[in-house]
């Protein structure tokens, strides 16, 4: 049907007006969609490193100038010979010097002074064609020169602000010394006390590892890596290293896909989301694939699903070690596997520099893969500001003034006292009066000024810690009589002071009991005995796995001999792993878990022993009745035959309890906290909703104290079996004597998600239990339901 011209014209005009009126709305809609798509959605897909376009342009411009040798060189990391943290390098100094001059080295580690770093950087800047600066790395694990508690010990503080602060001080001292990259934090979930590197992380729980790991990353990196007092952090070891079979370092890991995603990967995902600058892969294999060559972990999950744009560095020599694994024919094959899998930088394997160019010509790796790895190195250097000033970290005045200061030592003391856990105080022997008439300070660790520094002590000076004996002497009144006896040597010295952990073989004193008699006489004369026993600093750390986690040497004999003459014993335990202290726990009235507390150890111990600080630490790991329970952890599965006294057969032991001697989250105080009136604002929630939880916590004792209020949840039925309970939140708060505080938590979908049988993170509807209390054995309980 034809439409008359005037009607057609009018219709056109109306349509035009309607269209014009809609255009602004359409433009707004397009803008909102674009904003969501490219900002919100993109941010969700790429939660870290919202890339600065200016830096990316600079990265691309440098990359365009590089030849293949220079590109490969950026993926090479050498160690200086001055303080190696691994097996000796196979390459000599002249070889390294020549490569530096050619600009074919991307990073150096273990060079630790401004003068030496400036000299090394100058070689590159004076001789190389493109003058791409080096990034300098070092293992700053729990302090640089000012040493804080070992990470496992500091994790016992459950104080995220403190942990962030100590990491920031470590960064300040490290940066002042010329270094701009640390290989920390270790965020491996670790459940086996036999594993020596358990000392380096936050223990057995994925959530606790996640939040503590993020706090350390934020402390190291601050808000801007270009700032002078910050350094690049490194989330390690990706992944599964803490699950080494039999607790033996570097050993095989046997876990399934769901255990990997639900237990091991969450701390790493949190680190990626927090913007950690680098990742380190791990020595172990998972299900037959070495982590260094694991494409699923590095390319698919880390760089793919998580959209992370940082740098992946191998662990020391781990690319070459794929040959020993039986996964690679030789180093050339190992290089092919590693780069294809997403391992960007080769630490001390000398594999990439020898083979990547050939692999490129043979089409076994692609230029796109090589360029991607190089861009990640260049990006880090731009973010650190090294292209603007290669010598920005090389300031001798800062090195002189910003390292090992009184301010830093004061924070070290604060961190140390907050990391102490009171395990037992049966007769309220503690706190001691400063005017006590007499004290015997006994034990191989009582006047030891080196062991409290722990392993992985960076540039901590040998014999620089405050000893327990020194701390006691500086605290008690002038009329207190102090009797000191060593009692026994824990180890027989085999190396000179200052040697690192890899040149420190341990030989234990298991025969010489000649000092015990003098210690017994001292104990007879004293009102109270402070018995400092535990481990040598080098019993834990890399390559320090043990099958015996009790008191080695003649320490048990010393303990029992003193107990016969004086029952008023306070064990001051120094160690880097959960120990078998079952005999001591059954007999001795008071036990303080003091870990290796760092530079201010003795002063911090005295603060707690004499009541200047009310202990608030909580265990980040379960302590076993004996080593046969290992691996031991609170968030285990129920099994088809859970513990039940009515059943003859169940998933337990006939010779020891199934439960821990001291459970995860446990720690006493000099006061008493009471939990009551646990309430939920509703008893059911949709999958994407929330529930508000409140609980009243009262200090019913006579001293002010800090309590760590812990929230645990159990998903009763799932598409996969779920743990009996999981830590999902905690709050550390000061509660004055006689005071009651109402503590609040919000349960949301993120808390309840897990990696389900559908191979994705989701909340499954059903029934849930929750507990709130002072440790993982909390009994104050409520229930709720999640609906569709």
Instruction: Express each pLDDT in 102-128 by its tens digit.
Output: 999 999 999 999 999 999 999 999 999
Token reading at 593:
């878990």
C-beta of residue 143 within 8 angstroms of C-beta of residue 599: yes
Phi, psi of 676 (to 5 degrees): -160, 170
CA–CA distances in Å: residue 293 to residues 86, 257, 290, 454, 488: 20, 17, 5, 32, 47
> What's the CA gap between 584 and 522, in Å, rounded?
20
Q: What is the mean pLDDT of residues 167-189?
A: 98
> What's the CA gap between 761 and 749, in Å, rounded?
10
Of the listed ranges 262-271, 492-501, 598-607, the least confidently predicted one is 492-501
Which of 188, 205, 315, 447 is labelled catalytic?
Answer: 315
Q: Is the pLDDT of residue 207 over 80?
A: yes
CATH 3.20.20.300, domain 58-399, yes or no: yes
At a CB cut-off of 8 Å and minimum separation 6, what does 279 contact? 234, 235, 236, 238, 268, 271, 272, 302, 308, 310, 311, 312, 313
CA–CA distances in Å: residue 56 to residues 50, 270, 333, 344, 372: 11, 24, 32, 18, 12
Phi, psi of 433 (to 5 degrees): -80, 140
Of the listed ranges 17-31, 157-171, 298-312, 644-658, the least confidently predicted one is 17-31
Distance from CA of residue 599 to its chain's centroid? 20
Q: Would you state the pLDDT for residue 643?
A: 73
Residue 611's Cβ-count burial label (10 Å; 0-12, 13-18, 19+) is: middle
Phi, psi of 159 (to 5 degrees): -115, 100
Query: Between β-strands 761-762 and 690-699, what pairing exists: parallel, antiparallel or unpaired?
Result: unpaired
Q: Is the pLDDT of residue 48 over 80?
A: no
Q: What is the mean pLDDT of residues 15-25?
A: 43
Residue 414 belongs to what H/E stretch?
helix 406-419
Q: What is the mean pLDDT of residues 742-747?
A: 98
- Which residue did the predictor score with more confidence, 167 or 93? 167
pLDDT digit string, tens, across residues 58-74: 999 999 999 999 999 99
Q: Would you state the pLDDT for residue 80?
A: 86
Token reading at 759:
């191979």
CA–CA distances in Å: residue 633 to residues 200, 206, 290, 294, 747: 17, 11, 26, 27, 24
C-beta of residue 260 within 8 angstroms of C-beta of residue 267: no
Q: Would you state the pLDDT for residue 19?
A: 41
> What's the CA gap between 391 and 385, in Å, rounded?
10
Of the listed ranges 111-120, 166-175, 498-507, the least confidently predicted one is 498-507
Q: How many helices (H) and strands (E) in the chain?
A: 24, 26
**262-282 burial, b if ≥16 CB within 10 A, otherwise e?**
bbbbbbbbbbbebbbbbbbbb
At a CB cut-off of 8 Å and minimum separation 6, what does 581 contact? 550, 551, 571, 573, 591, 623, 661
Q: Is the pLDDT of residue 30 over 50?
A: no
Looking at every residue in the chain, the average pLDDT score rounds to 92
Q: What is the mean pLDDT of residues 773-784?
A: 98
CA–CA distances in Å: residue 732 to residues 146, 149, 381, 709, 751: 26, 19, 38, 6, 19
* DSSP 8-class letter at 667: -
CATH architecture of 673-787: Sandwich (2.60)
> What's the CA gap between 370 and 74, in Å, rounded?
10
Q: Would you state the pLDDT for residue 24?
A: 43
Q: Would you state the pLDDT for residue 92?
A: 66
Residues in the chain: 788
Nearest partner of 308 among 618, 130, 51, 127, judged by Cα: 51
> What's the CA gap between 482 and 601, in Å, rounded?
19
What's the predicted TM-score (pTM) here?
A: 0.92
Nearest partner of 632 among 192, 189, 152, 187, judged by Cα: 192
> What's the CA gap between 653 and 175, in Å, rounded?
51
Phi, psi of 353 (to 5 degrees): -65, -25
CA–CA distances in Å: residue 725 to residues 205, 240, 664, 728: 11, 22, 12, 9
> Catalytic site residue 315?
yes
Token reading at 571:
């064990």
pLDDT digit string, tens, across residues 508-555: 999 999 999 999 999 999 999 999 999 999 999 999 999 999 999 999
Q: Would you state the pLDDT for residue 505?
A: 75
> What's the CA gap between 559 and 585, in Å, rounded?
12
> What's the CA gap between 447 and 465, in Å, rounded?
10
Residue with tokens 């300070």: 441
Q: Would you state the pLDDT for residue 45?
A: 39
Hey, CA dihedral for 306, 312, 315, 317, is it positive or negative? Answer: positive
Q: How far apart are the first and last CA of the chain?
A: 54
Q: What is the mean pLDDT of residues 494-511?
A: 74
Q: What is the mean pLDDT of residues 471-500?
A: 88
Domain 430-615 belongs to what topology? Answer: Rossmann fold (3.40.50)
Q: Would you state the pLDDT for residue 542?
A: 96
- Which residue did the predictor score with more confidence, 171 or 652? 171
Of the listed ranges 81-85, 295-299, 349-353, the least confidently predicted one is 81-85
> What's the CA gap between 740 and 704, in Å, rounded?
12
C-beta of residue 155 within 8 angstroms of C-beta of residue 208: yes
pLDDT digit string, tens, across residues 674-713: 999 999 999 999 999 999 999 999 999 999 999 999 999 9
The answer, yes or no, to whether the previous bond of 743 is cis (omega within 30 of 0) is no
Token reading at 785:
């339901």
How do the domains of the chain map onto residue ranges?
Answer: 58-399, 430-615, 673-787
């Amino acid at each position: 049907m034809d439409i008359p011209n005037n009607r057609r014209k009018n219709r056109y005009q109306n349509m035009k007006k309607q269209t014009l009126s809609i255009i602004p709305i359409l433009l707004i809609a397009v803008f909102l969609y674009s904003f969501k798509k490219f900002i919100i959605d993109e941010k969700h897909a790429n939660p870290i490193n919202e890339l600065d376009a200016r830096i990316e342009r600079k990265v691309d411009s440098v990359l365009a100038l590089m030849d293949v040798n220079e590109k490969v060189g950026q993926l090479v990391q050498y160690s200086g010979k001055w303080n190696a943290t691994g097996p000796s390098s196979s390459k000599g100094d002249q070889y390294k010097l020549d490569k530096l001059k050619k600009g074919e080295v991307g990073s150096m580690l273990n060079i630790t002074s401004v003068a030496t770093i400036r000299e090394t950087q100058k070689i590159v800047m004076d001789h190389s064609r493109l003058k791409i600066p080096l990034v300098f790395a070092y293992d700053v694990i729990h302090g640089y020169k000012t040493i804080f508690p070992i990470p496992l010990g500091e994790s016992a503080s459950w104080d995220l602000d403190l942990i962030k602060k100590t990491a920031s001080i470590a960064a300040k001292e490290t940066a002042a010394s010329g270094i701009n990259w640390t290989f920390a934090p270790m965020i491996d979930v670790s459940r086996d006390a036999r594993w020596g590197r358990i000392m380096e992380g936050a223990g057995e729980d994925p959530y606790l590892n996640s939040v503590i790991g993020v706090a350390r990353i934020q402390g190291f990196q601050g808000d801007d890596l270009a700032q002078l007092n910050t350094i690049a952090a490194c989330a390690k070891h990706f992944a599964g290293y803490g699950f080494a079979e039999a607790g033996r370092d570097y050993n095989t890991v046997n876990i399934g896909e769901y255990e990997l995603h639900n237990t091991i990967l969450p701390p790493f995902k949190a680190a990626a989301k927090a913007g950690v600058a680098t990742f380190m892969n791990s020595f172990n294999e998972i299900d037959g694939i070495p982590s260094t060559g694991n494409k699923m972990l590095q390319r698919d999950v880390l760089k793919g699903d998580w959209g992370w744009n940082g740098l992946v560095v191998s662990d020391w020599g781990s690319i070459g070690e794929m040959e020993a694994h039986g996964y690679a024919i030789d180093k050339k094959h190992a290089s092919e596997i590693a780069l294809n899998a997403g391992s960007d930088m080769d630490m001390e394997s000398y594999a990439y520099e020898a083979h990547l160019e050939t692999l490129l010509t043979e089409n076994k790796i692609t230029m796109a893969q090589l360029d991607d790895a190089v861009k990640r190195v260049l990006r880090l250097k731009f973010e650190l500001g090294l292209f603007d000033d290669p010598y920005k970290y090389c300031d001798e005045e800062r090195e002189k003034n910003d390292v090992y200061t009184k301010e830093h030592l004061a924070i070290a003391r604060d961190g140390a006292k907050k990391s102490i856990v009171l395990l037992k105080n049966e007769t309220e022997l503690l706190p001691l009066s400063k005017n006590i008439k007499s004290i015997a300070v006994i034990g191989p660790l009582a006047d030891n000024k080196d062991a409290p520094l722990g392993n992985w002590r960076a540039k901590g000076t040998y014999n620089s810690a405050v000893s327990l004996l020194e701390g006691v002497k500086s605290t008690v009144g002038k009329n207190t009589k102090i009797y000191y006896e060593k009692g026994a040597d824990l180890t027989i010295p085999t190396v000179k002071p200052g040697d690192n952990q890899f040149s420190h073989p341990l030989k234990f004193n298991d025969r010489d009991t000649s000092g015990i008699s003098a210690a017994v006489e001292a104990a007879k004369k004293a009102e109270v005995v402070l018995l400092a026993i535990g481990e040598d600093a080098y019993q834990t750390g890399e390559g320090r796995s043990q099958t015996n986690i009790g008191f080695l040497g003649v320490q048990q004999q010393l303990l029992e001999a003193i107990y016969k003459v004086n029952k008023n014993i306070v064990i001051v335990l120094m160690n880097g792993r959960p120990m078998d202290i079952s005999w001591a726990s059954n007999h001795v009235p008071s036990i303080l878990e003091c870990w290796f507390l760092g530079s201010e150890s003795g002063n911090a111990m005295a603060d707690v022993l004499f009541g200047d600080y009310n202990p608030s630490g909580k265990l980040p790991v379960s302590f076993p009745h004996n080593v046969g329970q290992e691996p031991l952890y609170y968030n285990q599965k129920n099994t088809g035959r859970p513990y039940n006294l009515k059943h003859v057969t169940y998933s337990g032991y006939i010779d020891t309890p199934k439960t821990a001697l001291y459970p995860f989250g446990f720690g006493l105080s000099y006061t008493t906290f009471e939990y009551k009136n646990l309430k939920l604002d509703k008893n059911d929630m949709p999958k994407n909703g929330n529930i508000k939880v409140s609980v009243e916590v009262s200090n019913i004792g006579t001293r002010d104290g800090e309590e760590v209020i812990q929230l645990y949840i159990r998903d009763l039925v799932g598409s996969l079996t779920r743990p009996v309970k999981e830590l999902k939140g905690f709050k550390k708060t000061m509660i004055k004597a006689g005071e009651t505080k109402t503590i609040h938590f919000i349960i949301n979908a993120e808390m309840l998600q897990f990696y389900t049988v559908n191979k994705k993170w989701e909340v499954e509807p059903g029934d849930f239990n929750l507990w709130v209390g002072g440790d993982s054995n909390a009994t104050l309980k409520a229930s709720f339901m999640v609906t569709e």
